[in-house]
Amino acid sequence: MLFYDWKKMFEASEGSPLALFIIFKMLVTNAVPRNKYDDIYKYAGKHFHGESFVVHPDLLLHYAYKYEYREIAQYLALASMRRYADYAATGNTTLDLLECEVDQELFEDNSLLRIADGKVHFKYEEATQETIH
């Protein structure tokens, strides 16, 4: 499980989906920059820990090559709108559309997200033990 601060990530990346992915990858792998020319160098000294969470960040990172950076950024943005207390109490990883702060049309075509029964379902949050590598 990864806890992150979406607002800090968004501000540090200046809204760039590629930069958001670089920060996400750095957080998941606990990467340290090799030198000052490394992509993560300018983000390594910043603190991105927060209340937003992703249950299986390793799966999202492992299969990231299949998706656009924009889709991954949307996935992380919507995941940041969920409450950890709800997940801890019920194990529910979905986001109710009523709690969603952005227009549904902006993420309807995202292959990492599925909308059903008034909830946003996250593809790699509902992973079973067989799916986890």
In a domain, 23, yes or no: yes
The reported pTM is 0.91
In a domain, 41, yes or no: yes
Contact 78, 113 (CB under 8 A): yes
Looking at the 3D structure of the chain, how many domains does it have?
1
In a domain, 132, yes or no: no
| pLDDT tens digits, one per residue of 90-112 | 999 999 999 988 888 888 899 99
Polymer length of the chain: 133
Q: For residue 117, how many other CB atoms are within 10 A of its CB?
A: 8
Which structural domain, as residue segments, surrounds residue 104?
A: 2-122
Measure CA 131 to chain center. 18
pLDDT band at 133; cut points 50, 70, 90: low
In a domain, 127, yes or no: no
Classify each residue of 83-109 as buried b or exposed e, where b means 16 or more C-beta atoms within 10 Å of its C-beta. Answer: eeeebeeeeebbbeeeebeeeeeebee
Can you tell me the mean pLDDT for 51-56? 95
* The pLDDT value given to residue 102: 86
In a domain, 90, yes or no: yes
In a domain, 81, yes or no: yes
C-alpha–C-alpha distance, residues 103 and 108, integer Å:
9
pLDDT band at 129; cut points 50, 70, 90: low
Q: Assign 113 to helix, strand or coil.
A: strand
128 or 45: which carries more pLDDT confidence?
A: 45
* The pLDDT value given to residue 37: 93
In a domain, 20, yes or no: yes
pLDDT above 70 covers a percentage of the chain that reads 95
In a domain, 128, yes or no: no
Mean pLDDT of the chain, nearest integer: 92
Q: For residue 28, how many other CB atoms are within 10 A of its CB?
A: 17
- Strand-pairing partners, residue 119, are 96, 116
